[in-house]
Amino acid sequence: MKIAILSRNQNLYSTRRLKEACVARGHEVDIVDTLHCYMDITSSRPTVRYHGEELPKYDAIIPRIGASVTFYGTAVARQFEMMGTFNVNESVAISRSRDKLRSLQLLSRKGIGLPRTGFASKADNIKDLIKNVGGAPLVIKLLEGTQGIGVVLADTAKAAESIIEAFMGLKANILVQEFVKEAGGADIRCLVVGGRVVAAMKRQGLEGEFRSNLHRGGSAEVIKLSKEERLTALNAAKVMGLNFCGVDLLRSHNGPMVMEVNSSPGLEGIETATGLDVAAKVIEFIEKSAKTTSNRMRGKG
């Protein structure tokens, strides 16, 4: 098969591992910088061009689209879909998961466990907004934040009011969310590929740090998922429409709660912690799916 990895940096661990897995399984692979692609949008023969040439026909693409280039990156992925190329994560699913508010609303509709969350535009009812999610301490998140950036823990109601007012004064979109104290600064990253949880790890934040991101000094270890945790991760991926994703869970007194569904999960942390070849699982999924499954979104907006 001929596979393209849409990635802006060929030296990133995840990009390198996916390329290695392609080569190891006998496939041709190109790494294509998403922002250097441009599209010929025509009803008769849509194409993607790159550095002055038309890209060859690929059997499949693996989109590694960063949050900062979601709009253009999904447009490129959608163009490949219009050409009949199998896309591991369809453009509409990536867009859906990147919109934090929309994704929480969709998960809520399907009854998937979530921290209680509030969203408001005006500052005229901040006290009720705080009360409605259970009061302080609570977590305030920028909708556009990634990797723990723009996430604040407010210990008191007064602190929460001040932070919310400040964000609203800057016209920033924020979520106000229940703080799950019993999680103890830890979360669970489940890696889902093709409707299966292929790897899972527990991420623990540093002492005094409620964010568990590994690049912030957190640690990771292999964890055994409960049946409910596994089912929650699979259902969350299904609701988002993602074939390859990371689902972040919190363990709470009310069962597993989904924090986020990541359409472009990093592989370094979970492969290092578990010793599993997750990249190979992604390529195996492509081998099973690319020739038998057409893009459901082909021809759709």
Q: 259-301: per-residue pLDDT in tens?
A: 999 999 999 999 999 999 999 999 999 999 987 555 554 444 4
Flag whether pLDDT at 70 surpasses 50. Answer: yes
Domain boundary, last residue among 179, 207, 225: 179
Say if residue 75's pLDDT is above 70: yes
Q: Are residues 104 and 253 in the same domain?
A: yes
Looking at the structure of the chain, the number of domains it has is 3
**Mean per-residue pLDDT over the chain, rounded:** 90
The per-residue pLDDT for range 12-47, each reduced to its tens digit, is 999 999 999 999 999 999 999 999 999 999 878 899
- Please check whether residue 258 is in contact with residue 277, taking contact to mean a CB–CB distance below 8 angstroms: no
In angstroms, what CA-CA distances link 118 with 107, 192, 249, 269, 278? 14, 28, 19, 31, 35
pLDDT of residue 149: 73
Least confident of 73-87, 102-116, 206-220, 274-288: 206-220
The pLDDT, as a whole number, for residue 299 is: 40
Q: What pLDDT does 87 receive?
A: 97
pLDDT at position 298 is 43
For residues 140 and 219, membership in a common domain is answered with no
Are residue 220 and residue 101 in the same domain, yes or no?
yes
236 and 204 in a common domain? yes
**pLDDT in the model for residue 297:** 47
Task: Give percent above pLDDT 70 in the chain.
Answer: 90
Asked if 141 and 175 count as a contact pair (C-beta separation under 8 A), the reply is: yes
Residues 190 and 159 in one domain: no
Shared domain for 34 and 51, answered yes or no, is yes
Rounded average pLDDT over 156-180: 89
Same domain (yes/no): 208, 102: yes
Does any domain span residue 234?
A: yes
Nearest-5° Cα angle at 251, 246 to 254: 120
Predicted pLDDT at 44: 81
CATH classification of the domain holding 219:
3.30.470.20
Question: Do you know the residue count of the chain?
Answer: 301
**pLDDT at position 204, please?**
83
State the pLDDT at residue 173. Answer: 85
Asked if the bond preceding 265 is cis, omega within 30° of 0, the reply is no
For residue 45, tell me if it sits in a domain: yes
Angle between helices 13-24 and 278-289 (to 10 degrees): 50
Separation CA 299–CA 82 (nearest Å): 6
The angle formed by the CA atoms of residues 232, 297 and 14, to the nearest 5 degrees, is 60
Task: Verify that 187 and 233 share a domain, yes or no.
Answer: yes
Residue 301 covered by a domain:
no
Domain range for 121 is 117-179
Domain endpoint, select from 148, 179, 210: 179
Check which CATH number belongs to the domain holding 124 and give it.
Answer: 3.30.1490.20
Q: Mean pLDDT, to the nearest integer, of 233-247? A: 98
Amino acid at site 139: V
**What pTM, to 2 d.p., does this model score?**
0.87
Does a structural domain hold residue 298? no
- Separation of alpha carbons 40 and 244, rounded Å: 28
Indicate whether 63 belongs to any domain.
yes
The verdict on residue 295 lying in a domain is no
190 and 158 belong to one structural domain: no
Q: At what angle do helices 227-240 and 100-109 cross, to 10 degrees?
A: 120
Confidence of residue 56 (pLDDT cuts 50, 70, 90): very high
Q: How would residue 143 be classed by pLDDT, with cut points 50, 70 and 90? A: confident
pLDDT, tens digit (0-9, with 9 covering 90-100), for 185-234: 889 999 999 999 999 999 886 665 555 555 555 678 899 999 999 999 99
Residues 279 and 189 in one domain: yes
Residues 194 and 243: their CA atoms lie apart, in Å, by 5
Residue 270 lies in a domain: yes
Lowest model confidence (mean pLDDT) among 17-31, 162-176, 250-264? 162-176
204 and 141 within one domain = no
- 291 occurs within a structural domain: no
Residues 220 and 257 in one domain: yes
pLDDT at 150 over 90: no
